[in-house]
Structure 1
Amino acid sequence: MKDDVYQHFKREEVPVIDAFFDRINQVQNEYRPILTEFLDPRMQYIAQSLVGQRDDVRVSFFGGYANAERKRALFYPEYFTPTEADFKVVPLEIGYPQKFSQLAHGQILGTFANAGLDRNVLGDIITDGQRWQILVNQDLAAYLVGQIDRVGKIKVRLQQLSLADLLTPQADDAELMVLNLSSSRLDSVIAGAYNISRKSAKDLIKEKRVHLNWMMVEKPDLEIGEHDILSVRRYGRIKVGPVLGITRKDKIRLEVSVVRKKKR
Structure 2
Amino acid sequence: MDKQQILMVHKNIVDKEGVFLKSIEQLEKCIKYYERAATPFITPEMRVVLEEIVKYERDVETVVHSGFKHFERCRLEWFPDYLSASDSSEYIQALRLTYQQKFNKLGHRDVLGALMGLGISRQKIGDIVVLEEHIDIVVDASMAVYISANLDKVGRAGIRIAPIELDALREHTPVMRCVDDTVKSLRLDAVIASAYHLSRQEAQQLIKGGSVRVNYREMLQTSHLLLEGDLVSVRGKGRFMLESVEGETKKARIRITLSHFDT
Is TM > 0.5 for Structure 1 vs Structure 2?
yes
Deviation of the 1:4 alpha carbon: 11
| Matches of 2:111 and 2:79, distance apart in 1 | 33
Residue aligned with 1:58, SS: strand
Deviation of the 1:49 alpha carbon: 0.3
> Normalising by the residue count of structure 1, what TM-score does the alignment of the two structures yield?
0.68
Q: What is the alpha-carbon root mean square deviation over aligned residues?
A: 4.0
Deviation of the 1:134 alpha carbon: 0.7
Number of residue equivalences: 224
Deviation of the 1:28 alpha carbon: 2.2
Counterpart of 2:261, as a letter, is: V
Determine the structure 2 residue equivalent to 1:206. none
Residues 212, 235 of structure 2: 8 Å contact kept: no
Residues 63, 123 of structure 1: 8 Å contact kept: yes
Residues 90, 136 of structure 1: 8 Å contact kept: yes
The one of 46, 50, 57 equivalent to 1:47 is 50
Please show how residues 181-200 of structure 1 align to structure 2 within 5 Å.
182=189, 193-195=195-197
Determine the structure 2 residue equivalent to 1:260. 262
Q: Which moved more, 1:15-24 or 1:71-80?
A: 15-24
Superposed CA deviations along residues 169-206 of structure 1, whole A, max 9, x for unmatched, are 230023478985559xxxxx7x87544799x99xxxxx
Indicate the structure (1 or 2) with the bigger Cα radius of gyration.
Answer: 2
Residues 10, 223 of structure 1: 8 Å contact kept: no
Residue aligned with 2:214, SS: coil
Please show how residues 26-175 of structure 1 align to structure 2 within 5 Å.
26-85=29-88, 87-166=90-169, 168-175=170-177
Determine the structure 1 residue equivalent to 2:225. none
| Matches of 1:95 and 1:18, distance apart in 2 | 36
Q: Where does the alignment leave 5 or more consecutive residues of structure 2 unmatched? A: 217-231, 246-256
Counterpart of 1:144, as a letter, is: I
Q: Which moved more, 1:133-142 or 1:222-231?
A: 222-231
Counterpart of 2:171, as a letter, is: P
* Pair 12,159 (structure 1): closer, same or farther in 2 beyond 3 Å: same
* Pair 257,131 (structure 1): closer, same or farther in 2 beyond 3 Å: same
| Matches of 1:62 and 1:176, distance apart in 2 | 31
Residues 193, 238 of structure 1: 8 Å contact kept: no
Superposed CA deviations along residues 8-46 of structure 1, whole A, max 9, x for unmatched, are 954323576654442222112221210111112111111
* Pair 90,192 (structure 1): closer, same or farther in 2 beyond 3 Å: farther
Residue aligned with 1:92, SS: strand
Deviation of the 1:143 alpha carbon: 0.8
| Matches of 1:3 and 1:146, distance apart in 2 | 39
The answer to whether structure 1 residue 12 and structure 2 residue 12 are counterparts is yes
Residues 42, 226 of structure 1: 8 Å contact kept: no
Q: Where does the alignment leave 5 or more consecutive residues of structure 1 unmatched? A: 184-188, 202-219, 245-254
